[in-house]
Amino acid sequence: MKLVNVYHVDAFTQNPFAGNPAGVVPDANTLTVQQMQRIANELNLPESAFLMSSEHPEADFRIRYFTPTTEIDFCGHATVGSSWLLATERGWLEKGRPIVFETNVGLIPVALDIEAGQLQKVTMTQIAPSVQEIDVNREEVARMVGIRLEDLDDRYPMKLASTGGLHLVVPVRTCEAIDRAVPLLSELERLNKQHRITTTHLFASDAPEGYDVYTRDFAPAIGIPEDPVTGAANGALSGYLALEGFLEKGKVHHLVIGQGHAIGRPGTLYVTVEHTREHPVIHVGGAAHVTIAGQLRLKEE
């Protein structure tokens, strides 16, 4: 019998049962890809992260991400959850330096914010953001995500944005409209697969008190009807806001993004956009809570 340590970490929150749950397997060197996929399916969380040794000279770990149905190239909340676990349960806090993960999209460094010896949050620097056009009918997209056409915010273009995976950015006028959204998941899945989109990301600058932006995220194409609080999609959104000129160039911008409230898993993301150079740099941070720790028992293969 092979025993595999596994953790359930709620990311972008300080509380259990909030934020976005991630599975974290910190000792995955001996697992096959098939085993990793089966474990992710068994955990049935939005994403699970598997950490293993890296041969990259600048990386501390190789990390792979799986939804219950497929491997994806990058996951923000599972990176936050993995970093928090390493810092609080695996002694990384004492090292006093960032953790560098080798992912399918490149190196992702994660800084530890420590005050009086206590970890406050972890912050990942995502890869360079990009945006691209997408030929879609706005009325059809509104129908698929379950809002009215007049709920779309015409001040912002509907585009694809990325800091590691493609996200369809859908601007919405109010947070109330976002909360009312009832997506047609089968149709949205077909649209996303057609354009190789990871998630469809609704956002409103009309945010609840304490937040600058409010978002909601649907990802049926990768086996997740709704992703509660998304580090990758909100990083891509922040890059979109910079590249499309909604964040003034030559400045450093700080955004507090709220997500998950509509489904009872509120989370908070702290995003810094360094828009002082030719290409903006996106940092996405938050806290986490290790909610479950245990062992999987696998048969030897």
The tokens for 36 are: 């990793």
Question: Which one of 47, 102, 189, 226 is the catalytic residue?
Answer: 47
Rounded distance, CA 198 to CA 213, Å? 21
42 in catalytic set: no
- Alpha carbons 108 and 163: distance in angstroms, whole number: 11
CA distance 45 to 5: 16
**Are residues 299 and 2 in contact, defined by beta-carbon separation less than 8 angstroms?**
yes
SS3 state at 50: strand
For residue 220, list its beta bridge partners. none
d(CA 142, CA 30): 45
* Rounded Cα–Cα distance for residues 211 and 39 (Å): 35
For residues 121 and 113, is the Cβ–Cβ distance under 8 A? Answer: yes
Q: Are 82 and 50 in contact (CB under 8 A)?
A: no
Catalytic residues: 47
